[in-house]
Amino acid sequence: TGSSDPYCIVKIDHEAIIRTATVWKTLSPFWGEEYEVHLQPSFHSVSIYVMDEDALSRDDVIGKVCITRDMLAEHPKGYSGWMSLSEVDPDEEVQGEIHLQVEVLGSQGGRQRLRCTVLEAR
In a domain, residue 42? The reply is yes
> What pLDDT shows up at residue 40?
85
Confidence at residue 105, expressed as pLDDT on a 0 to 100 scale: 86
Number of H helices, E strands in the chain: 1, 8
| pLDDT of res. 66 | 95
**How much is the pLDDT for 93?**
83
* Sign (positive or negative) of CA dihedral 64, 67, 68, 71: positive
| pLDDT for the residue 51 | 95
Which pLDDT does position 1 carry in this prediction?
62
Mind listing the pLDDT tens digit of every residue in the chain (122 residues)?
Answer: 678 999 999 999 999 999 999 999 999 999 999 888 888 888 899 999 999 999 899 999 999 999 999 998 899 889 999 999 999 888 888 889 999 999 988 766 777 888 999 999 99
Tell me, yes or no, whether 39 lies in a domain: yes
CB 18 within 8 A of CB 115: no
Identify the pLDDT of residue 108.
67
13: closest CA among 94, 69, 79?
69
Q: For residue 57, is it within any domain?
A: yes
Full residue range of the structural domain in which residue 46 is found: 6-121
Report the distance separating Cα 52 and Cα 40, nearest Å: 29
* pTM of structure: 0.89
**Residue 26: what pLDDT?**
94
Q: Is residue 1 part of a domain?
A: no
**Which CATH number goes with the domain that contains 111?**
2.60.40.150
Number of domains in the chain: 1
